[in-house]
Amino acid sequence: EVQLVESGGGLVQPGRSLRLSCITSGFTFGDYGMSWVRQAPGKGLEWVSYIRAKAYGWTPDHAASVKGRFTISRDDSKSIAYLQMNSLRTEDTAVYFCARSDHRYCSSISCPLDYWGRGTPVTVSS
Amino acid sequence: EIVMTQSPATLSVSPGERVTLSCRASQSVNNNLAWYQQKPGQAPSLLIYGASTRATGIPVRFSGSGSGTEFTLTISSLQSEDFAVYYCQQYNDWTTFGQGTKVEIK
């Protein structure tokens, strides 16, 4: 059974940092791309970051709203994806979901997200 | 950035009814369009990708159509477990989501 479990969220002051983890099981992690998507309270979905599988160079992409502040990474030996969030702002407050993507169904740039974790809440407030 | 616009924002329907949700892209996304269902307090789940391909385990009452800029998600006969918010996602040029359509009980 495919499972994704996020952790590392919490309450943090503006300007501080937080690292989210997405621990996975039930599939060959190294074969898949991984993404982070967030959802602010009562709002819709916003894609944050994406990292491709080794076969595609492990190349990352970040939304313009977080570029230069957030960094996505992965440890294929541990089947974990990470999101390092620096210089946090109040507008980064959201539930952060990690999600898997199968490169077979992607466009040349991005992908649908076939499995999601339950999310971890991040609150940025003084 | 490609803007995805969903309509209507809210749809009030009775169980058993046929439901049609719309999603429009500000420019062509070819067939790189997915649909998700999200229930309160839960993560989204993938229903449709490639505009019309059902994801694993998705009932046949869910179908997707369209290409380019106009897309539709149809639920042929709404079941009680289908009351939720539905999002479209384009993945042709990075990724953007629509604002969602809430399907509620009439």
**Best residue in A105, A108, A115, A120 to probe B by mutation, most B CBs within 10 Å?**
A105
Q: With CB atoms and an 8 Å threshold, state whether A45 touches B34.
A: no
What are the pLDDT tens digits along chain A (126 aa)? 999 999 999 999 999 999 999 999 999 999 999 999 999 999 999 999 999 999 999 999 999 999 999 999 999 999 999 999 999 999 999 999 999 998 889 888 889 999 999 999 999 999
Q: By CA distance, what is A118's nearest residue in B?
A: B43
Any idea what DSSP says for residue A53? -
CB contact under 8 A, A113 and B30: no
The tokens for A100 are 């898997």
* Six-digit token string for A49: 């970051």
Establish whether the linkage from the previous residue to B8 is cis, with ω within 30° of 0.
Answer: yes
B91–A107 CB contact, under 8 Å? yes
Work out whether the CA dihedral A115, A20, B1, B92 comes out positive or negative.
negative
AA identity, residue A102: D
Any A CB within 8 A of B58 CB:
no
What is the rounded distance in angstroms from the CA atom of residue A21 to the CA atom of residue B88? 26
List Cβ neighbours of A28 (8 Å cut-off, separation of 6 or more).
none
Regions in chain B scoring below 70 on pLDDT = none
How far is residue B51 from each of residues A11, A50, A92, B63, B73, measured CA to CA in Å?
Answer: 38, 21, 30, 9, 9
What pLDDT sits at residue A109?
84
Q: Report CB contact under 8 Å: A44, B99.
A: yes
